[in-house]
Amino acid sequence: MTEATTPVLVVGAGLAGLSTAMFLGVHGVASVVVERHPGLSVQPKARGQMPATMEALASAGVAERFRGAAPPGREEMIIVIAETVSGPVMKDFVQGMPDFSAFSPMPMAHASQERAERIMAERAVEVGADIRFSTELESFRQDGERVVAVLRDVTTGRRTTLTAGYLVAADGHKGGIRDAAGVGVHGQRSRGQGRTMFAQFEADLDVALDGAAFGLFYLRNPALPSGFATVVTTDHPGRYVIAVGFPQDEEPGRGRLAEVIRIATGLPGLDVRVVDAAWTSSGDHITRVADTFRSGRVLLAGDAAHLMPPTGGQGGNTAVLDGYHLAWKLAAVLSGTAGPGLLDSHDAERRPFADALAEQQYANLVERQAPHLRDGTEAEIIDPMAGLFGYVCPAGAFVPEQTGDRPGPLFEDPAAPSGLPGSRAPHVRLSRAGTPMSPRDLFGPGFALLTTSAAWAGTVERAGRALGVGLDLHVIGDGLIDVDGRFLSAYGVTETGATLVRPDGVIAWRSRGPAAPAALEDALRHVLDRVRPS
């Protein structure tokens, strides 16, 4: 049995695992990614990257690759609740879609998970990741210093011992790391609504799509076995995926499945070819969130941490952002610029968001497809813009202000941001030498201090030198024009104040006006779990 070492072992080469490996590499940290399958998934799954996800991907240099991975066709998309793919339409989500440009400098992208994983895998390798397919985690043990993993090549049976500083469990909802680490789960129970079959099929639905590149149809139809289904386009013209529920005791053959597809499309004479089909199950939960996202040196990400219905389309986005928000913290701890307590913020920040998001996606399921599940326990559906841009961490790696008990998670109106530490640094329109910019373009891989006063320059230089961290000063007004004059109000500071922003675009600390000379360094020490020398 051979032995090797790595700073971080990532188990699972899905969205969360590849995101973590890619962003670790951007921060200069090598990782080993193991995946028990022989290659990346070829199954169409999640599609679409929201603007905040695209901001993260831009920081890794892959945003243009994602935009170029959209399926052929017009940029328009179809997202509706309907009786069948052919209609009638009960609700059109695209017609009421808000203007994301008010909250982010990045547009959406429409890459499928199949293509997204390939882009991130390529970039992860470019920045130093070692991806090993046909390799499974057989066992692991951890202590206060390391994780010792036994890996097995599923083709040859050869075993390898790998010692890592940390283990990221991105092994999906069926993975075993979470259970092996002793982490429980909670969520909405299924209440025996049956099983869901995912099937790829080929058919001519061009008339329903009308040339759009992407179509998502939430179907409510009593003629369907469970009363509802979802049909979505893929990267391959003429190929689609249907997710449809069946009673526990029904085992549909391809003929029965083709019949259900004709009902779902509203085309009784449709020529259908079923390509493949498989059952999926989340066990006895519709939503499932881990009780903690950290267990010693094991950190959970993606479906291993949170599983939710796809209604709302945020599961894949959240998996990518798990890696984005976690990678800089792991890099800081591994480099010695942060104490190990920084990693506690992975649970403190990401789990409350996952809890809220799972409840929102479940509420969307009830609203869009399964009103028979409504029993008063579902969450009130919040404004999607608040969900996408308004989350305020209830606790974590930031210096809290005296704002009461900070119940969390808080979702504020991103059109009227508070600038509170723990919130997303707001997008405002900036310009440099005539080029449109945003504060979001200024973040990563180090910390950033935003201000309208150049008087902070000496403080920034001293704090960065004292702690050995990257810390950039950005003076709004010094060649960086505040186009709409919104910076001070959006960030809640005066002309002499400043806001400290983390590498992942979350506000870490702010001083509404001038601060004591040591205040910025003290804030960084608090965020990074660094004790000031006596």
Active site residues: 218
Q: How far is CA 165 from the centre of its chain?
A: 24
3-class SS shares of the chain: helix, strand, coil, % to 5:
30, 30, 40
Helix (H) or strand (E) holding 142: strand 135-142
Kindly give, in sequence order, each residue whose CB lies less than 8 Å from that of residue 406, ignoring residues fewer than 6 positions away: 392, 394, 395, 400, 422
The CB-side HSE value for 43 (13 A sphere, CA atoms) comes to 14
* Residue type (1 letter), 302: G
* Residue type (1 letter), 344: D
Distance in angstroms (rounded) separating the CA atoms of residues 189 and 158: 40
Neighbour tally for 20: CB within 10 Å: 33
Tokens representing 31 are 């990782």
Overall size of the chain counted in residues: 534
CA-CA distances (angstroms) from residue 369 to 191, 209, 262, 264, 417?
16, 21, 18, 13, 33
Rounded-to-10 torsion of CA 369, 375, 380, 385: -20
Distance in angstroms (rounded) separating the CA atoms of residues 163 and 4: 6
112-126 burial by CB neighbour count: b if 16+ within 10 A, else e?
bbbbbbbbbbebbbe
Q: Is the dihedral of CA 401, 402, 408, 414 positive or negative?
A: negative
Angle value at C-alpha 329, between 326 and 331, nearest 5 degrees: 110
CA-CA distances (angstroms) from residue 186 to 48, 282, 414?
27, 12, 29
272-306 burial by CB neighbour count: b if 16+ within 10 A, else e?
bebeebeeeebeebbbbbbebbbbebbbbbbbbbb
The CB-side HSE value for 453 (13 A sphere, CA atoms) comes to 18
Cβ contact 454:474 at 8 Å:
no
Distance in angstroms (rounded) separating the CA atoms of residues 47 and 234: 9
Distance in angstroms (rounded) separating the CA atoms of residues 253 and 202: 16
Tokens representing 279 are 């059952």
- Relative to beta strand 228-233, strand 306-307 is unpaired
Contacts of 176-182 with CB under 8 Å at 24 or more apart are 177/11, 177/137, 177/140, 177/298, 177/300, 177/304, 178/290, 178/300, 178/304, 178/305, 180/139, 180/140, 181/295, 181/296, 181/298, 182/295
